[in-house]
């Protein structure tokens, strides 16, 4: 579940007219396990370098992969962006680490 997602839980009572629903808000904290070079998977990255970002609660349930717009690699995937020395880094993947 992505950060800031609202989860709806329905609690039912077996008595006539006893069904009810309530909305409970949950906040999920992103965890970055690794930000690595897309070319070598080595740790660290430089401004403008393609990177892979692996972690928990950092993107959509379905991982987001490489997207090119007008000939440029996107700098946001699944609502995730990374800055390296205050520069937006092009991204090729956002989601859990592959098995």
The total number of structural domains in the chain stands at: 1
> Are 31 and 53 a contacting pair, CB within 8 Å?
no
Cβ-Cβ contacts under 8 Å for 86 (sequence gap 6 or more): none
Q: What is the pLDDT of residue 22?
A: 54
Over residues 54-69, the pLDDT tens digits come to 777 777 777 888 899 9
Over residues 11-57, the pLDDT tens digits come to 445 556 655 555 556 666 777 888 788 788 888 777 767 777 777 77
DSSP-assigned states of every residue in 24-69: EE-----EEEEEEETTT--B---TT--EEEEEESSS-SSPEE--EE
Flag whether 80 is in a domain. Answer: yes
pTM for this predicted structure? 0.53
Flag whether 15 is in a domain. Answer: no
Flag whether 17 is in a domain. Answer: no
> Chain centroid to CA 99: how far?
17
Where in the sequence is the domain holding 79, given as residue range(s)? 30-95
């Amino acid at each position: 579940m992505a950060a800031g997602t609202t989860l709806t839980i329905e609690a039912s009572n077996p008595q006539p007219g006893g069904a009810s629903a309530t909305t409970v808000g949950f906040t999920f904290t992103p965890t970055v396990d690794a930000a690595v070079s897309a070319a070598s998977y080595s740790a660290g990255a430089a401004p403008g370098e393609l990177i892979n970002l692996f972690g928990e609660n950092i993107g959509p349930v379905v991982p987001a992969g490489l997207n090119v717009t007008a000939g440029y690699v996107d700098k946001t995937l699944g609502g995730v962006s990374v800055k390296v020395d205050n520069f937006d880094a092009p991204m090729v993947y956002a989601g859990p680490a592959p098995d």
